[in-house]
Copies of this chain bind each other. A is one copy, B any other.
Amino acid sequence: MTHLSRRTLLGAAVGSAAAASWPRLARAAAPGPLDSEIARRHDEAVQRLQAWIREPCIAAESRGYESGFPFFLQMLRDAGFQKVERVETSGKPGVFATLDAGAKRTLALYFMYDVKQADPAEWSSPPFEGRLVDKPGFGKVMVGRGAVNQKGPEAAFLAALHAYRGAKRKLPVNLVLVAEGEEEIGSPHFGEVVRRPEIAAVLGKSIGVFMPHASQDPGGEVEISLGGKGVVELELVASGARWGRGPSRDVHSANRARLDSPAFHLVQALATLVTPDGAEPAIDGFADSARPLSAAELEMVKRAAARMNEAKAKELLGAKRWLRDEDWEHALQRLCGRPTVNIEGLVGGYTGPGGKTMLPARAVAKLDLRLVPDMTAEGALAALKAHLQKRGFGDLEVNMSGGYDPTTTPADSTFVKTMDAAYRKAGIDPLLWPRSGGSWPGYLFTGGKPLKLPAGHFGLGHGSGAHAPDEYYVIESSNPKVAGFDGAVASYVTYFETLAG
């Protein structure tokens, strides 16, 4: 459930928009003594990140927690968190940590300590080594699973705390941190951490919750996303056994003459989920509570459309036309403003090369539904089930595997204004963006049950390849507009100082 990079979602920025080069912005961002402490501790911090990459926790494989979890707790203690607690959940343990600096304001952090699976055979250097390699156009990057998603940015954040300690400077904000070890399987138990009364009470005193993030695209541009769509991931399963029609085991396809086809039953159900042109959801009641983009949000999209490169976006997506042949601005409005019904995967019967004359007893569609405010995951699921029931597809299994509500953070919150100001101090003119087309479980912080805090992602720096081979995070940047590791560290210092005023 990686937060989707702006590069992928919006298309590359117009190159000239990021006018300032990094060195100037780095100096402006971090005051002198901290600046030099960051530089002095560069090797130590990079080695810490490397050591962390060598301790993968992988939820899908239930791997590495025995040593990886204590390693993560120790990192937090070393960075200065006075209280670091293991929080039991129905799944892998969460973490609750606090750093009381005696400051006026408290900032909350959301960390993940797990990473996605990795197949070493697909990597050019071992995924759990954290090797430093030269990447043309980027500089020296660290290659490893979790390098950008999310250990690199999180390690940069912790390095900022080390810089304060090393420079013997008092941290200007208090910190409260919650973390989970199951982000990569859809955060199924993280609510059990956030909603603990004693934890929610402390989080509730913060100005907002961010996850450290490598927010820069390859051109150095930054987006501040004010939310994310909700999501429901599910499998729709048609089977002869449950339908009571067609075969309950795979049989020779000659029998199609006298038996119903569960695969066609699935196909017919799927066809009802979208409009005749396939463009929009057609599930009864699904989008009834979808709130249109506000005037302010439409204005943000208009500004983004003017700055983003449509041709580049289409090239990255391998696409020639937007939905319904709309223009760039309207395509971007849809991206952040409209709910979707998508087929992630189709699996049924014989899937190998060539054909096999069989009548399959079962067929599956993997769907994701994206939700905008004020839709809810629960409401979307109920609408889908009622829609199917009404049309004679009530026998289909609807197996929701994960999902959550949309998340929204007000643009005029101190939390967001501080992000904007911190980026501007670094010479960057960030794009405000109403809502990511992707999803992250920010609703736990923003949804009002019980917390109603601002929440988002923050940090300079660049990386890519989340969930893919050769994931990387820039350590020494060769592009003056893109922050390396020390620049990312400095961006957190800038946030603290800006917030403290």
Instruction: Tell me if A414 is interfacial: C-beta within 8 Å of chain B.
Output: no
Instruction: Tell me if A402 is interfacial: C-beta within 8 Å of chain B.
Output: yes
Instruction: Tell me if A437 is interfacial: C-beta within 8 Å of chain B.
Output: yes
- A260 near B279 (CB under 8 angstroms)? yes
Report the Cα distance A185→B1, complex, angstroms. Answer: 43
Q: How far is the CB of A462 from chain B (nearest CB, A)?
A: 18
Instruction: Tell me if A373 is interfacial: C-beta within 8 Å of chain B.
Output: no
Among the stretches A62-70, A81-89, A194-202, A348-356, the one at the interface with B is: A348-356
Instruction: Tell me if A248 is interfacial: C-beta within 8 Å of chain B.
Output: yes
Report the Cα distance A233→B353, complex, angstroms. Answer: 13
- A321 near B267 (CB under 8 angstroms)? no
Contact of A355 among B235, B267, B439 (CB under 8 A): B235
- Quick one: which of A60, A346, A402 has the most chain B CB within 10 A? A346
Total copies of the chain: 2
Across the interface, which residues of B come within 8 angstroms of A380, CB to CB?
none
- B344 near A253 (CB under 8 angstroms)? yes
Q: How far is the CB of A63 from chain B (nearest CB, A)?
A: 16
User: A328-360 vs B: 1/0 string, CB under 8 Å?
Assistant: 000110111110111111111111001111111
Contact of A321 among B244, B254, B363 (CB under 8 A): B244
- A357 near B253 (CB under 8 angstroms)? no
Across the interface, which residues of B come within 8 angstroms of A402, CB to CB?
355
Contact of A274 among B233, B264, B332 (CB under 8 A): B264
- B354 near A401 (CB under 8 angstroms)? yes
Across the interface, which residues of B come within 8 angstroms of A47, CB to CB?
none
Instruction: Tell me if A259 is interfacial: C-beta within 8 Å of chain B.
Output: yes
Contact of A251 among B260, B318, B361 (CB under 8 A): B318
Instruction: Tell me if A240 is interfacial: C-beta within 8 Å of chain B.
Output: yes
Across the interface, which residues of B come within 8 angstroms of A8, CB to CB?
251-252
- A348 near B345 (CB under 8 angstroms)? yes
Instruction: Tell me if A368 is interfacial: C-beta within 8 Å of chain B.
Output: yes
- A4 near B370 (CB under 8 angstroms)? no
Q: How far is the CB of A251 from chain B (nearest CB, A)?
A: 5
- B370 near A323 (CB under 8 angstroms)? no
Instruction: Tell me if A296 is interfacial: C-beta within 8 Å of chain B.
Output: no
Across the interface, which residues of B come within 8 angstroms of A322, CB to CB?
258-259
Q: How far is the CB of A185 from chain B (nearest CB, A)?
A: 8
Across the interface, which residues of B come within 8 angstroms of A274, CB to CB?
261, 264, 268
Across the interface, which residues of B come within 8 angstroms of A348, CB to CB?
343, 345-346
For the complex, would chain A's binding face be called helix, strand, loop or mixed by DSSP majority? mixed
Known: A320-B245, A321-B245, A363-B346. Is A438-B254 also a contact (CB below 8 A)? yes
Across the interface, which residues of B come within 8 angstroms of A346, CB to CB?
263, 266-267, 346-349, 351, 363
Across the interface, which residues of B come within 8 angstroms of A306, CB to CB?
none
Report the Cα distance A241→B256, complex, angstroms. Answer: 32
Across the interface, which residues of B come within 8 angstroms of A251, CB to CB?
8, 317-318
Instruction: Tell me if A231 is interfacial: C-beta within 8 Å of chain B.
Output: yes
Instruction: Tell me if A249 is interfacial: C-beta within 8 Å of chain B.
Output: yes
Instruction: Tell me if A165 is interfacial: C-beta within 8 Å of chain B.
Output: no
Known: A343-B267, A349-B343, A361-B318. Is A370-B258 also a contact (CB below 8 A)? no
Please, which residue of chain B has its CB at the minimum distance from the CB of A340? Answer: B256
Report the Cα distance A251→B4, complex, angstroms. Answer: 11
- A344 near B334 (CB under 8 angstroms)? no
- A258 near B332 (CB under 8 angstroms)? yes
- B240 near A319 (CB under 8 angstroms)? yes
Known: A252-B4, A257-B334, A332-B258. Is A358-B370 also a contact (CB below 8 A)? no
- B264 near A368 (CB under 8 angstroms)? no
Across the interface, which residues of B come within 8 angstroms of A258, CB to CB?
322-323, 326, 331-332, 334-335, 437
Q: How far is the CB of A228 from chain B (nearest CB, A)?
A: 9
Report the Cα distance A350→B235, complex, angstroms. Answer: 12
Contact of A335 among B257, B335, B366 (CB under 8 A): B257
- B264 near A401 (CB under 8 angstroms)? no
Across the interface, which residues of B come within 8 angstroms of A358, CB to CB?
344-345
Among all A-B residue pairs, the 10 with the closest Cβ atoms: A254-B437, A248-B318, A271-B271, A345-B349, A263-B343, A346-B348, A345-B350, A256-B342, A258-B331, A254-B438
- What would be 23 A-B contacts, judged by CB atoms less than 8 Å apart? A9-B255, A240-B318, A244-B321, A245-B320, A247-B319, A249-B318, A256-B370, A257-B340, A257-B437, A259-B319, A260-B278, A263-B346, A264-B278, A264-B343, A267-B267, A271-B271, A342-B359, A344-B349, A344-B357, A345-B349, A345-B356, A345-B360, A346-B363
